[in-house]
Amino acid sequence: MSLPANIRVKISSEAAGYVALTPVVVQEIPFTSLLEYIAAAAGPDTAAVASMLERGVVVSGASRFRWEGFAAPHDELAALLATLPKDDPSRAFDPERCLRLAFVSQTRRFDLSRTLATRNRLFRKSFWDTFFPSLPAPDYVCYLHGERADLYRLTLTPPVAESLRQSAPLLTDRGAVRLLASHPFLKVEFIVPR
């Protein structure tokens, strides 16, 4: 049996609770899209992907995808998985392509979109335009299949943490200002779509 071009899946919400029900949507999607969901959950390992294809279920974000499980030919599956994007530590960080920052501590994670970070207050530069130029280049971490983006990380050294505290008041969201100025974040993660 060869791999299908499209696959019929049932998509349901993982948000459905004990009493609340959400509708199930039946849809045909490209097989390569299903592989990306599986790779986001299990990694691009051929054996792990083949196992999930046989089970016929994967959870991606708030959605559960189900299909009739089947045994995939390992050579075809390996060839198709080889076409998916991979980790590429040689990719230089490009701040112009970065769409989201995540500030991470031992107890908290705070995501900040570029849209929110580039809003500027009256007659002042934006947080994005002030904070980014003060940063050293972050380190490449990995490719995130679920995000279709590369992940870069920077440790918040005292000078970078100080720059964060000074730049935080430029945000238009008062809650974000208080959080970034006072919480002991340890790292900044950068999500850069490919």
Summarised one tens digit per residue, pLDDT across range 87-115 is 999 999 999 999 999 999 999 999 999 99
Annotated domain spans of the chain: 6-81, 100-193
Q: Where are the alpha helices (DSSP H) in the chain?
A: 31-42, 46-55, 74-81, 114-117, 127-131, 158-167, 174-182
Q: Would you give the DSSP letter of residue 54?
A: H
Task: Report the range out of 15-19, 49-53, 80-84 with the highest average pLDDT.
Answer: 49-53
Long-range own/partner contacts, residues 175-180 (CB < 8 A, 24 or more apart): 176/110, 176/112, 176/116, 179/110, 180/103, 180/110
- Compute the mean pLDDT over every residue in the chain, rounded to the nearest whole number: 90
Instruction: Residue 31: name the closest of 64, 59, 90, 72 by CA.
Output: 72
Give residue 134's pLDDT.
84
Distance CA 194, CA 188 (A): 19
User: Is 104 in contact with 189 (CB distance < 8 Å)?
Assistant: yes
What values do phi and psi take at 168, rounded to 5? -55, -40
Give me the torsion for CA of 14, 20, 24, 25, rounded to 10°. Answer: -80
Q: 127-145, pLDDT tens digit by residue? A: 999 998 889 999 999 999 8
Tell me the average pLDDT across 12-17: 69
pLDDT band at 146 (very low <50, low <70, confident <90, very high): confident
